[in-house]
Structure 1
Amino acid sequence: MRCAPTAGAALVLCAATAGLLSAQGRPAPPEAPRFASWDEVNLLAHGLLQLGRGLREHVEHTQGQLEELQRRLETSPSSQSPQKVHPASAQVAPDALQSLQTQLKTQNARIELLYQKVSQQQKHLEKQQLRLQKLQSQVGLLAPLHPNHEIDKSSRNKRLPKVAQLVDPGHNKSLLHRLPRHCQELFENGERQSGLFQIQPKGSLPFLVNCKMTSDGGWTIIQRRRDGSVDFNQSWEAYKAGFGDPQGEFWLGLEKVHQIVGDQDSNLVVQLEDWEGNAESLQFPVHLGGEDTAYTLQLTEPVASKLGATTLLPGGLSLPFSTWDQDHDLLRHKNCAKNLSGGWWFGTCAHSNLNGQYFHSIPRQRHQRKKGIFWKAWRGRYYPLQATTMLIRPGVAATAS
């Protein structure tokens, strides 16, 4: 595999790709262990995935061009001319095309294998990151305290994972005896500053959340899209556990959200922004089930009608969560997550998808736009939104219990 000279990051990706391809033919020599940071590994993994997609698309495009060229040669007037042509000369072009096609198929197979391997490694790294974050949350609870109830500076100044460094220990010092169950409890105890906090819902291990404090309560941010820095086309396990950066783009995790709201009714806020600077905020009551229900989101009849649902049961609308590897949508003949992008409460694929593919500009092609972030009842089915935020808060019954 040859690599053209380019920028430093591209050279790293090219060298890594060449190494993976050559490793299929011979074992790599042993190397001394080197430990890279999570950001470096994640950058390399995302870069390799993008490189694999690009190579695969290039091979498919070239294959199409060769097939078109072969078709034109076969139907050209010269190929049908009655003049005599030397057999060896007549066979040169088809043989050359056949050889190129064979080479392309071989390279395509190798690229596909590389792409699958890198994709599997990235999923493994994301799982490891989630485990590290959970362990760091537990370690934070065991940090030594001074008599003034502040965390020891020597412990706080140690190098910690990126997310853990963002926690302000002063936020929770009024609740040292017990961590709050959710952002609303923080609000009820006098907290008015938004930011990252450690919470511990009943029956759960502690974890970090991003709280938004407003005049009417404390809301937990469960999703945010704004720049396309995080790939939301993830598996069921990733959507269950959560992924991304709580200070940037992220998905909190279905299991964490369910632990926060329990089996009680809750309020969901959806904030939308388009590319013209317009914004929309929607709030409605919901009920989120556990994993045994595929994290089904239950909507009342008036809310479901506003979202565009046409077929409703007396109790409203029940939408299971669906991903490309676990299809729970309401269409038997189609997997909405595969046909669109991301994981979502799809229903019939046409009402909304805030976890779709992020576009930095609106694509011209309709079939591309349908895979984007959309909310049909606001800007229409084929308008990909620029930014979204989702927030949730337990209902009054859950907060008082």
Structure 2
Amino acid sequence: MGCEMAAKIIYVSSVIYLCISTCYAATSETPIEVDITTVVEGKLDNRIESRRPFESMLKSTDKSQQTFCPEVCQSSYCKNLVGVSKDKSCPIKKLPDRGERIPKNCKEIFEKGNIISGIYEILPHNKSKPTMVLCDMELQGGGWTHIQNRFDGSEDFYRNWRDYKFGFGNLEGEFWIGLETIYYLTAFEDMELLVELTDKNDVKYYANYGRFSIGPELEGYILKAASPYSGTAGDNMDYHLGQKFTTKDLDQDKWPQDNCANFSMGGWWYNNCYASNPNGQHRNMKHVEELKRKGMNWDKISSPDGYFLYGTRMLVRPKH
């Protein structure tokens, strides 16, 4: 019996070791060594737990290894990925049991006493499945739900309709939460929008909109409301009011000659074409003639030395 039990422990240890190696190998430039004994005792090395997950973690693995990897290896990795960036092996979110209520947005979480910014689960009004979001509990009174975050160019925002609909990226990095989620967040209660724009010298500008909402996909996720404006960045959303969302594979803008998403290399509520383009290409460079409309811009901000914007955040919060 003793030998049989020892054999089982060795087998389980090997399984967990393979799983951890598979799931976390891509998180470091150097290999991570795991002590089998600490795994068996449930004491995972802190170095592994602290590794920041990113998109290629499971994509580089064999399909059989992906399905083999248990939930303990995937939970942290999967919960931070947005929309189409989720791996097929990530579990599908389900509705909670009856009686268990998930907050609709970050403000509800904040009002329950959770004042630490971070990743939380929400279930927007009328949405069928919960979703993970990044909450800012400090900026301008707290309770803000991120719908977009950019700061280093690690995520490509020149994407198709499906990607913009369901979202993409990593909540610990750059991401777009998805038009479908934005619709459910803004369509059924009054929401305000905060846009934070950062230039190359880390100077921040703000555009606050007292009411913000978009329509459903059947209406092209039309930008229904973005007013009244206040702030330091200037109002560059008014030009886009009433416009449907346009991506490189679905042209719904007002430019008859071409597709604004292809010209501006992003996805947005383009008109003919834009006064703001926070989803344009991240370019750590000065404007040059051939590229000056093909990057992250907010036209009323005079960027130092003619540089493109370096970072943007978009956040929503209930008015009441």
Which TM-score bucket, shorter chain as reference?
0.5 to 0.7
Query: Which whole-Å CA distance do the structure 1 matches of 2:227 and 2:132 have between them?
Result: 34
Residue-by-residue CA offset, 1:100-142 (whole Å, 9 max, x unaligned): xxxxxxxxxxxxxxxxxxxxxxxxxx84726655x35449x68
Q: Is the 8 A contact 1:267 1:394 kept in 2?
A: yes
Residue 225 (1) aligns with residue 150 (2): yes
Query: Which whole-Å CA distance do the structure 2 matches of 1:300 and 1:219 have between them?
Result: 17
Greater relative contact order structure (CA < 8 Å, 6+ sep):
2
The structural deviation recorded for 1:275 is 1.1
Q: Is the 8 A contact 1:297 1:320 kept in 2?
A: yes
* Cα gap change, 1:131 to 1:349, in 2 (>3 Å): farther
Indicate the residue corresponding to 2:106 in structure 1: 183
Query: Which whole-Å CA distance do the structure 2 matches of 1:309 and 1:234 have between them?
Result: 21
The structural deviation recorded for 1:329 is 1.4
Residue-by-residue CA offset, 1:42-73 (whole Å, 9 max, x unaligned): 579xxxxxxxxxxxxxxxxxxxxxxxxxxxxx
TM-score (norm 2): 0.66
Query: Which whole-Å CA distance do the structure 2 matches of 1:266 and 1:42 have between them?
Result: 37
* Cα gap change, 1:188 to 1:38, in 2 (>3 Å): closer
Q: Which has the higher helix share?
A: 1
Query: Which whole-Å CA distance do the structure 1 matches of 2:206 and 2:60 have between them?
Result: 33
Q: Is the 8 A contact 2:236 2:298 kept in 1?
A: no
The structural deviation recorded for 1:346 is 1.5
The structural deviation recorded for 1:301 is 6.8
Indicate the residue corresponding to 1:337 in structure 2: 261
Indicate the residue corresponding to 1:267 in structure 2: 192
Query: Which whole-Å CA distance do the structure 1 matches of 2:58 and 2:141 have between them?
Result: 41
Q: Secondary structure at the match of 2:163?
A: helix
Query: Which whole-Å CA distance do the structure 1 matches of 2:226 and 2:103 have between them?
Result: 29
* Cα gap change, 1:320 to 1:130, in 2 (>3 Å): farther
Q: Secondary structure at the match of 1:258?
A: helix
Instruction: For structure 1, list consecutive stretches of 5 or more residues without a partner in the other structure.
Output: 1-36, 45-125, 143-175, 397-401
Supply the AA of the counterpart residue of 2:166: A
Query: Sequence identity, in percent?
Result: 34
Q: Secondary structure at the match of 2:180?
A: helix
Residue-by-residue CA offset, 1:310-356 (whole Å, 9 max, x unaligned): 98xxxx93121110111111222221001111111122223010011
Indicate the residue corresponding to 2:313 in structure 1: 389
Q: Secondary structure at the match of 2:300?
A: helix
- For the aligned residues, what is the CA RMSD? 3.1
Indicate the residue corresponding to 1:280 in structure 2: 205
* Cα gap change, 1:263 to 1:130, in 2 (>3 Å): farther
Supply the AA of the counterpart residue of 1:369: K
Supply the AA of the counterpart residue of 1:240: K
Instruction: For structure 2, list consecutive stretches of 5 or more residues without a partner in the other structure.
Output: 1-53, 62-82
Q: Secondary structure at the match of 2:249?
A: coil
Structural mapping, 1:124-143, within 5 Å: 127=84, 129=86, 132-133=89-90, 135-138=91-94
Indicate the residue corresponding to 1:374 in structure 2: 297
Q: Secondary structure at the match of 2:100?
A: coil
Supply the AA of the counterpart residue of 2:174: E
Q: Is the 8 A contact 2:215 2:222 kept in 1?
A: yes
Query: Which whole-Å CA distance do the structure 2 matches of 1:213 and 1:310 have between them?
Result: 28
Supply the AA of the counterpart residue of 2:134: N
Indicate the residue corresponding to 1:118 in structure 2: none
Q: Is the 8 A contact 1:307 1:376 kept in 2?
A: no
Indicate the residue corresponding to 2:56 in structure 1: 39
The structural deviation recorded for 1:295 is 1.1
Residue 296 (1) aligns with residue 225 (2): no
Query: Mean alpha-carbon deviation: is it higher for 326-335 or for 338-347?
Result: 326-335
* Cα gap change, 1:130 to 1:264, in 2 (>3 Å): farther
Indicate the residue corresponding to 1:80 in structure 2: none
* Cα gap change, 1:295 to 1:249, in 2 (>3 Å): same
Q: Is the 8 A contact 2:282 2:296 kept in 1?
A: yes
TM-score (norm 1): 0.53
Query: Mean alpha-carbon deviation: is it higher for 276-285 or for 248-257?
Result: 276-285
Q: Is the 8 A contact 1:263 1:289 kept in 2?
A: no
Supply the AA of the counterpart residue of 2:146: I
Q: Is the 8 A contact 1:232 1:355 kept in 2?
A: yes
Q: Aligned pairs, how many?
A: 239
